[in-house]
Amino acid sequence: MIKMKNAVHYRLISFVLLLLAGACSGTVFGQDVNSRIAAAIKTANAKDLSSYFNNTIDLTTPGNEGTYSKAQAEMIVKSFFSKYPPSSFTLNHNGKSNDGSHFAIGTYKSGATQFRAYFLVKVMSGQQLIHQLKFESEDD
């Protein structure tokens, strides 16, 4: 009887640990993707950043706003980074929704110009991909 109780306890503990590990890994994975996206922005690496783009992406930069293919968006972001090279990028806020998507809001500085940066990441076919990316001037 004692062996059976121990077996039940071990199974229960194992189940709870698996649930916790799954919940934590989702959070850590989301944060890890955010930090890799932030690193690509900090280094103005449009190629690395575009590796997280969905096939189409809603993109806003000064002078550009619309839905673009992954390749078009990479070129627009590359041009943005060229015109406004980063002096710093800081993530200010992260959040997530019930559907598993998550977002981050940050401050992108280029010289004396400052932008509010925002990206939305959703899971598509098991991959976390950017669906929306915005760099909006804080002067507007």
Question: For 20-57, what is each residue's pLDDT tens digit?
Answer: 444 433 444 456 899 999 999 999 999 999 999 999 99
pLDDT band at 2 (very low <50, low <70, confident <90, very high): low
Nearest to 66 by CA among 139, 133, 138: 133
Amino acid at 9: H
Q: Which token pair is 70?
A: 């992954």
Q: Using 50, 70 and 90 to split pLDDT, how confident is the model at 7?
A: low
Could you tell me the pTM of the whole model? Answer: 0.76
The count of other CB atoms within 10 Å of the CB of residue 92 is 10
Strands 64-69 and 88-96: unpaired
User: In whole angstroms, what is the distance from residue 64 CA to residue 80 CA?
Assistant: 10
In the chain the domains, ranked by start, together with CATH numbers, are 2-137 (3.10.450.50)
Contacts of 26 (CB under 8 A, 6+ apart): 100
The answer to whether 33 and 119 are in contact (CB under 8 A) is: no
The residue-averaged pLDDT of 78-98 equals: 95
Dihedral over Cα of 35, 127, 51, 65: its sign = negative
More confident residue, 99 or 14: 99
- Percentage of residues of the chain with pLDDT beyond 70: 77
